[in-house]
Amino acid sequence: MTQSIAAPAAPAPGPVPQPAPKGSLWRQYSALTKPRVVQLIVFCALIGMLLAEPGWPRWGLVALASLGIWLVAAAAAAFNCLVEQQIDRRMARTAWRPTAKGELTTAQALVFSSLLCAAGCAVLLVAVNALTMWLTLATFVGYAIVYTVVLKPLTPQNIVIGGASGAMPPVLGWAAMTGEVGGEAMILCLIIFLWTPPHFWALALYRVEDYRRAGLPMLPVTHGADFTKLQVLLYTVVLFAATLLPWVFRFSGLVYLAAAVVLGALFVAYAFRLWRDYSDALARQTFRFSIWHLSLLFAALLLDHYLDPWLFGAR
């Protein structure tokens, strides 16, 4: 009898911890940086760098500026995961993040974010210029603090207002190469600023229950799907007009104009279908197309920058 009672007490209580797979900690830290989001940020900054100079750019400066901007953008993403870890646990879209799952502690995420931000600012200050460093740091504060901590949990206009920081990458790239903020860079900033609401609202439409569970006042939660769909359509129309500004101000040529018209018409068509005949599948398609829209639009701008003078002569 004694043996039968004592026998179960031998194993240690609870599950036996398994050793983490090699490289898993690296993957966890990498996931904090939201690589795909940061990739688009650096791409837009790179476009600003390449457009800022008439010929081939100084590639060493481009590489260092891209590195510094990537580090600070990754730091902002990691800080966002840190602040929103409780919210992320309640959302299917974000529950996998290392901070939400408890795979990384608050201290680990904070130290990681701080080191990335400090390293990025140091690279930009020493190897690029002070203006780019301060603008990039301001973008970090705008996204990680103003948007994540203040705006996102308080107002359905969080995406509109907070979109200003997300629209800054072309300005950062332009400043890195020229040491100033040019009007052309501000046009690119305006395009991203107007692109951001329909991009995120398309996502929020088919993820509305996620946001409702998390208690976030996204537009579909506070104003309903019909109002949000109309806003998506209106913003895409205004965005279409804004994408023509580089050509209007002779900042680009016919190559870009053709791409802007086709991409803009497709985005408006998606938004119109979403407004008239909504489905979650269509909202998901609209969200995905919006990413292609911005990527291809900026790629066309770069292609135009190098091809248009050769095809049609100097503007």
Quickly state the pLDDT bin for 311 (edges 50, 70, 90): low
Token output for 201 = 């609202």
The predicted structure's pLDDT at residue 313: 60
Q: What is the mean pLDDT of residues 8-21?
A: 41
Which CATH code for domain 31-179?
Answer: 1.10.357.140
For 253-289, give one letter per residue: b (16+ CB within 10 A) or e.
bebbbebbeebbebbbebbebbbeebeeebbebbbeb
pTM to 2 decimals?
0.85
Quickly state the pLDDT bin for 15 (edges 50, 70, 90): very low
The predicted structure's pLDDT at residue 166: 87
The predicted structure's pLDDT at residue 314: 55
Residues 66-111 pLDDT 10s: 999 999 999 999 999 998 888 888 888 888 888 888 888 889 999 9
Sole residue written with tokens 């194993």: 11
The predicted structure's pLDDT at residue 23: 47
CA 132 to each of CA 123, 141, 144, 174: distance values in angstroms, whole numbers, following the listed order? 10, 14, 18, 9
Region of poorest pLDDT, from 9-18, 155-164, 221-230: 9-18
Task: Judge whether 181 and 175 are in contact, CB under 8 Å.
Answer: yes
Helix, strand or coil, per DSSP, at residue 240: helix
The predicted structure's pLDDT at residue 237: 98
Percent of the chain exceeding pLDDT 90 equals 63
Task: Look over the chain and give the mean of its residue pLDDT values, rounded to a whole number.
Answer: 88
pLDDT at 242 over 80: yes
The predicted structure's pLDDT at residue 21: 46
Report CA dihedral (282, 287, 243, 221) to the nearest 10 degrees.
Answer: 90
Region of poorest pLDDT, from 132-136, 244-248, 249-253: 249-253
pLDDT at 261 over 80: yes
pLDDT at 159 over 60: yes
Under the phi-then-psi rule, with left for phi > 0, alpha for psi from -120 to 50, and beta for the rest, what region is 34? left
CA 315 to each of CA 88, 179, 186, 211, 309: distance values in angstroms, whole numbers, following the listed order? 50, 24, 20, 48, 7
CA 65 to chain centre: 18
The predicted structure's pLDDT at residue 158: 85
- Specify the DSSP class assigned to residue 19: P
Residues 6+ apart with CB under 8 A from 14: none
Quickly state the pLDDT bin for 43 (edges 50, 70, 90): very high
Task: Judge whether 191 and 243 are in contact, CB under 8 Å.
Answer: yes
Token output for 160 = 């509109």
Q: What is the mean pLDDT of residues 15-38?
A: 71
Region of poorest pLDDT, from 8-17, 38-47, 180-189: 8-17
Residues 200-211 pLDDT 10s: 999 999 999 988
The predicted structure's pLDDT at residue 25: 84
Region of poorest pLDDT, from 123-132, 208-217, 250-259: 208-217
- Helices in the chain by DSSP H: which ranges? 2-6, 24-32, 35-52, 59-83, 85-89, 98-101, 106-123, 130-140, 158-166, 169-178, 183-206, 208-214, 219-223, 225-243, 245-248, 254-276, 280-312
CA 103 to chain centre: 24
Q: What is the mean pLDDT of residues 262-270?
A: 98
pLDDT at 296 over 60: yes
Percent of the chain exceeding pLDDT 70 equals 90
The single-letter code of the amino acid at 270 is Y
The single-letter code of the amino acid at 269 is A
Region of poorest pLDDT, from 55-69, 272-286, 297-311: 297-311
Residues 210-223 pLDDT 10s: 889 888 899 999 99
